[in-house]
Amino acid sequence: MVIAAMICFFLGEITHNFSQVDKVWSLMPVIYAWVTVLTFPGSARLWVMTALVTLWGVRLTYNFSRKGGYSLLPWKGEEDYRWAVVRKNPLLKKRWSLTIFNLTFISFYQHVLIMLFSSPLLVAARFVDKQMSWLDVVAAVLMLVFIVIEAIADQQQHVFQRLKRHPESSRGTYAFSLQKGFLVEGLWRYVRHPNFAAEQAIWISFYLFSVSSSGKWLNETALGFVLLVLLFQASSALTEKISRSKYVDYAAYQQQVSKFIPRIFFR
């Protein structure tokens, strides 16, 4: 983790592209999973966890790649548009303050976070002799469901962004959304960030494997998904601030549609 964080930091400093951690976000949990399962190859639970994490990682890597996140030169690739907004923060105007931010939050904190929400693997390894239970089945099914939901959401967003660039080819697809300038159809009818919601739910579900193996509903690896949820609160707030500044109807959309959980569950 430390090696990966330092590589991301130095590449970010050299290229002024702060999306270096974004490039390995979908890869590091897969590496952690395979290191763990190959150390404890006799654990059926770890094989299930590794298979699910690998499926998640392959799909998310593909989605990041088709958005231009990768390049033949690994330090290149498109930067997340939100970093340009973050750079305008008065606290980051100085070059030294931007470097500290890159080192502490972007490179190290995010890598620590990735390791933490992957840490149920370590609990499963610690209790490697504990047999699988019904809770493992629940965790696996939930992860699969949320991976599928995230894939659908990302595909809908991909199609919509392509149609925004070439509206003449829409043939009525997402016509209402194209008129507004942002996606309000498909899964976006129910929540404003279905892909973000699914990503959080994936790792909350993954935590259940640690519950099944340890026998404790609350254990230290809960910190991973808790910090992930907090990160998505901040990330979505920034995303929506940008959207409100660009689209006149976005504030009304915020009033009508909930952020992560469909309102049918809490009305």
For 179-237, how does the pLDDT look when each residue is reduced to its tens digit (9 = 90+)? 999 999 999 999 999 999 999 999 999 999 999 999 999 999 999 999 999 999 999 99
Q: What is the pLDDT of residue 265?
A: 59
CB atoms within 10 A of CB 240: 17
Residue 243 has pLDDT above 60, yes or no: yes
Give the count of domains, the chain: 1
Picking from 153, 151, 163, 162, the residue whose alpha carbon sits closest to that of residue 185 is 153
* Lowest model confidence (mean pLDDT) among 22-31, 60-69, 143-152: 60-69
Burial category of 196 from C-beta neighbours within 10 Å (exposed 0-12, middle 13-18, buried 19 and up): buried
Q: Which domain holds residue 101?
A: 2-265
pLDDT band (50, 70, 90) for residue 75? low
